[in-house]
């Protein structure tokens, strides 16, 4: 081979190598461009989120609560005169998260929503962290949209607010609107969130129950394959006035204006028909054919509220007649019934150890009822006895929550007060 031919061959090899390298770089180059030019994703109703943007971690709220308690008393704002319309516990569900062990003082704080004092705009609502021991508070900001029903997400990074026929997902700590559900055909009467998933449970005035998975985004063609982010349940023929998840998150309960209470198994739950799962109710509830189970037949007026005990064993049902019915979920048996009020019960709360039940009724009284249990060996089951232990006349109660077994926090239009239970 001549020197000239060798030189030509060498140039051809180099050219081929360069071409190969250029072809290998094309995908990498495209990936980089697509990353730099990525457009915001629309999550619904004109609410925009940039790619990769995430909310604060779940411990943010606990850290702020801890900072509030450590701050100098002279520098604290006081919220005892605020008109709170909702209070949520900052520690609910935290024990399930590895490495999170908040102190008792931190767990006694609350995140609350109050009507604005000085915004100049009717209907403005503000968010606060509140020390329930001395009324000190930390203002977090103003809500971007109004709500009538509120819940705090399980990871403590979202406030879910329902107003009329829309549900808003609001970030913490930014208080920015991230997503909005506006596909409901009627006004929202009740709201709850799953303790284990990112799911909102919605009771509608049209007699339907809706389950909204706010993190799911499906292409319009995918519902044809059975995939939905909004599910509808048809268990009632009147307004669904109360909804509540079981602590397991797999079952939920609903009550209506006709006095019916129903337990419902989610569409996607229990794919094996209960063959490999413990039967919560003991009545064959987890079967292929049964998705709903009626707990209470219509009677004594509409259902005002539903509260499940923290261990998932009992369900408390408040009725328009002024009575509270207690159901043992295993076996679906009624274990207690008492009537602390004359007329509708507006609010219901249970103490951390499920020993005491606080109720507020249309008669403008706050009543504490103690629930005592004993095992009857002859009958082979636990029996319950109720006893009214204390009551106060407190007009205009808007929120009712136990701080501990002996302290009840009550919020009215005139402010907050702590009631001591003897």
Q: Count of domains in the chain?
A: 1
- In order along its 422 residues, the chain shows pLDDT tens digits of 555 555 554 545 443 443 333 333 222 222 222 223 223 222 223 233 333 344 445 688 888 999 999 988 777 889 999 999 999 999 876 655 445 677 888 989 999 999 887 655 656 899 999 999 899 999 999 999 899 999 999 989 999 999 999 999 999 989 999 999 987 888 999 999 999 889 999 999 999 999 999 987 665 555 544 446 888 898 899 999 999 999 988 899 999 999 999 999 887 665 544 444 455 555 555 444 447 889 988 777 899 999 999 889 999 999 999 999 999 988 888 999 999 998 899 999 999 999 999 999 999 999 999 999 888 777 777 888 999 999 999 999 999 999 999 999 999 999 999 999 98
CA angle 269, 288, 309 (to 5 degrees): 50
Which residue reads 């079952």 in tokens?
A: 251
Strand partners, 213: 199
In a domain, 190, yes or no: no
In a domain, 105, yes or no: yes
In a domain, 63, yes or no: yes
In a domain, 154, yes or no: no
Range of the domain at 123: 58-147
How close are the terminal C-alpha atoms of the chain, in Å? 108
In a domain, 406, yes or no: no
Tokens of 310: 């923290």
User: What is the pLDDT at residue 104?
Assistant: 86
In a domain, 219, yes or no: no
In a domain, 362, yes or no: no
Give, in order, the Cα–Cα distances in Å from 233 to each of 260, 314, 329.
15, 23, 21
In a domain, 281, yes or no: no
Give the per-residue SS3 of 167-183: EEEEECCCCCEEEEECC
């Amino acid at each position: 081979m001549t020197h000239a031919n060798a030189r030509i061959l060498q140039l051809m090899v180099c050219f081929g190598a360069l071409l190969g390298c250029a072809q290998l770089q094309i995908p990498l180059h495209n990936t980089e461009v697509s990353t730099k030019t990525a457009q915001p994703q629309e999550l619904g109703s004109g609410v925009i989120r940039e790619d990769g943007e995430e909310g604060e971690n779940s411990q943010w709220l606990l850290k702020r609560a801890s900072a509030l308690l450590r701050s100098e008393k002279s520098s604290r704002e006081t919220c005892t005169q605020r008109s709170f319309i909702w209070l949520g516990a900052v520690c609910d569900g935290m024990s399930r998260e590895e490495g999170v062990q908040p102190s008792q003082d931190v767990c006694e704080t609350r995140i609350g929503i109050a009507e604005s004092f000085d915004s100049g705009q009717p209907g403005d609502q503000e968010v606060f962290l509140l020390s329930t021991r001395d009324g000190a508070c930390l203002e977090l900001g103003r809500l971007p949209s109004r709500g009538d029903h509120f819940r705090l997400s399980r990871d403590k990074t979202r406030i879910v607010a329902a107003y009329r026929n829309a549900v808003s997902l609001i970030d913490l700590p930014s208080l920015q609107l991230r997503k909005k559900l506006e596909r409901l055909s009627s006004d929202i009467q009740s709201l709850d969130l799953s303790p284990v998933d990112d799911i909102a449970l919605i009771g509608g005035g049209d007699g339907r129950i809706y389950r909204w998975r706010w993190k799911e985004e499906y292409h319009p063609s995918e519902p044809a394959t059975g995939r939905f982010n909004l599910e509808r349940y048809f268990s009632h023929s009147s307004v669904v006035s109360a909804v509540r998840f079981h602590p397991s998150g797999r079952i939920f309960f609903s009550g209506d204006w006709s006095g019916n209470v129903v337990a419902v198994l989610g569409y996607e739950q229990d794919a094996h028909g209960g063959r490999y799962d413990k039967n919560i109710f003991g009545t064959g509830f987890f079967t292929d054919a049964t998705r709903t189970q009626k707990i209470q037949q219509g009677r004594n007026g509409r259902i005002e509220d539903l509260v499940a005990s923290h261990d998932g064993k009992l369900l408390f049902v408040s009725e328009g007649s002024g009575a509270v019915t207690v159901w043992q979920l295993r076996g679906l048996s009624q274990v207690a019934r008492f009537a602390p009020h004359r007329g509708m019960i507006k609010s219901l709360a249970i103490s951390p150890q499920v020993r005491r039940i606080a109720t507020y009724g249309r008669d403008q009284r706050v009543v504490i009822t103690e629930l005592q249990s004993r095992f009857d060996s002859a009958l082979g089951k636990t029996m319950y006895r109720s006893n009214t232990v204390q009551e106060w006349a407190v007009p205009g109660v808007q929120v009712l929550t136990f701080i501990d077994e002996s302290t009840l926090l009550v919020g009215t239009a005139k402010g907050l007060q702590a009631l001591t239970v003897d």
